[in-house]
Amino acid sequence: KGEAADAAGFTVVMKFGGSSVSSAARMREMADLILSFPEERPVVVLSAMGKTTNNLLLAGEKAVSCGAPKASEINELAVIKELHLRTIDELGLDSSIVSGFLDELEQLLKGVAMMKELTLRTRDYLVSFGECMSTRIFAAYLNKLGKKARQYDAFDLGFITTDDFTNADILEATYPAVAKRLHGDWIDDPAIPVVTGFLGKGWKSCAVTTLGRGGSDLTATTIGKALGLREIQVWKDVDGVLTCDPNIYANAVPVPYLTFDEAAELAYFGAQVLHPQSMRPAREGGIPVRVKNSYNRHAPGTVITKTRDMRKVCYVTVSVYSDSSM
C-alpha cells in the first residue's frame, strides 16, 4: 500500500465538513492547516459550505408550492447566492467560479416550481450544487496561494453507485476507476485533488446521486481504500470521538484509540461523530481513520483501527445522573 501511495504522490485523505468551510475565514484556516503539514500529500474531500445543503432542500420544497415566477425570490436561494459570492469576494477570487452554477440553480428551482414536483432524482441533483461550488472555491484559493490544486466532481471522478437516490451506495467498480483517474492525473500533472464529498453517479441512470448519512465521510474512506493510503483523516469540530456528549457532561474527553466495532457501538448509542456505514471501506481496506479537530489542529484526535493494543486502554469517568423527583 505504501509503495502504491508514494508512486501516486498521495499519503492521506483529509475530509472537512461544512462547518470547516463555512466562510472565507474558515477556508483560509483550512488552507493554512493543509499547508502546515508539508510532509503530507493529501487528497482533500469537502462538504458544502455551512448550512448550504439544508438551504438547498428548503428552496426545493418551497419551489414546489410557490409557482415559477416567484422561484427566483425564494429566501434560501438569496442566502446561498450571498454566501458564495461574498466568500469569493473576500478570498479575492473571480465570481465566474460559481456564477454559472448559481444561474443554473435558479433555473432548476423555476423548473421544479413549474412542474410542482420534486422527485428524489431532482432532489439529489439540487443538493449537488453545494459541494460543486465549495470545492471549486477552495481549489481556486489554493491555486491563488501558489499550491497547485485540481477540483473533481465525484460523479466524474469514478464514483459509481446504486440508483437509490438520496441514499445510494458505492459499487465495487468505483475503487479501480477512482485509483486510475487520480494516479493518471498525478503522473501527468501533480496537484492536490479537491473532491466533492457526498456525491456519486448512478450506474444505470448516469444521474447524480447522494450517499445518504455520513456521505462525505464515505467519500473519504472510499478514496483511502482505492489508493491504499496509510491514513484517512476526518476533520470535525471536536477533538475526536468523545466519552460522551459535551453538551450533557462538560468534562467529556476524547478517546485516543478505538476499534471499528467500538466506534459503531458508540454510534448506536447516539454518538454523532461517525456513521458506521461510512467507515466500511476503511475497515475492509485495513486503513486507520483518524478523527481530528479543525479548530485544534495539533490535537492527536482519535485513531480508529480494526484491532488495538489493549494496553492502550482509556480509563474514563462515567457519570450517573439521577432525578430526585423520580
Say how many domains are in the chain.
1
- Is residue 44 one of the residues assigned to a domain? yes
What is the radius of gyration, based on Cα positions, of the chain? 20
Q: Which residue has the cell 456513521?
A: 275
- Is residue 312 one of the residues assigned to a domain? no
Rounded CA separation 286/142 (Å): 31
- Is residue 123 one of the residues assigned to a domain? no
- Is residue 155 one of the residues assigned to a domain? yes
What is the pTM for the complete model shown? Answer: 0.90
CATH number of the domain residue 294 falls in: 3.40.1160.10
Q: Which grid cell sits at 286?
A: 485495513
**Rounded to 5 degrees, what are φ and ψ at 209?**
-125, 160
- Is residue 127 one of the residues assigned to a domain? no
Residue 201 structural domain: 2-49+134-305
Closest by Cα among 299, 319, 306 to 255: 299
Rounded CA separation 317/251 (Å): 9
> Which pLDDT score, from 0 to 100, does residue 310 have?
61
Q: What is the pLDDT along the chain (326 residues), one digit of tens a residue?
A: 444 444 458 999 999 999 899 999 999 999 999 999 999 999 999 999 999 999 999 999 999 988 767 888 999 999 999 999 999 999 999 999 999 999 999 999 999 999 999 999 999 999 999 999 999 999 999 999 999 999 999 999 999 999 999 999 999 999 999 999 999 999 999 999 999 999 999 999 999 999 987 899 999 999 999 999 999 999 988 888 887 777 777 787 888 999 998 888 876 655 556 777 889 999 999 999 999 998 888 888 999 998 876 655 554 444 333 333 33
Closest by Cα among 225, 223, 201, 224 to 211: 201
Closest by Cα among 116, 90, 193 to 150: 193
End-to-end CA distance of the chain: 57
Residues 6+ apart with CB under 8 A from 302: 240, 241, 254, 255, 256, 257, 258, 290, 291
- Is residue 76 one of the residues assigned to a domain? no
Q: Provide the β-strand partners of residue 234.
A: 15, 291
- Is residue 121 one of the residues assigned to a domain? no
- Is residue 185 one of the residues assigned to a domain? yes
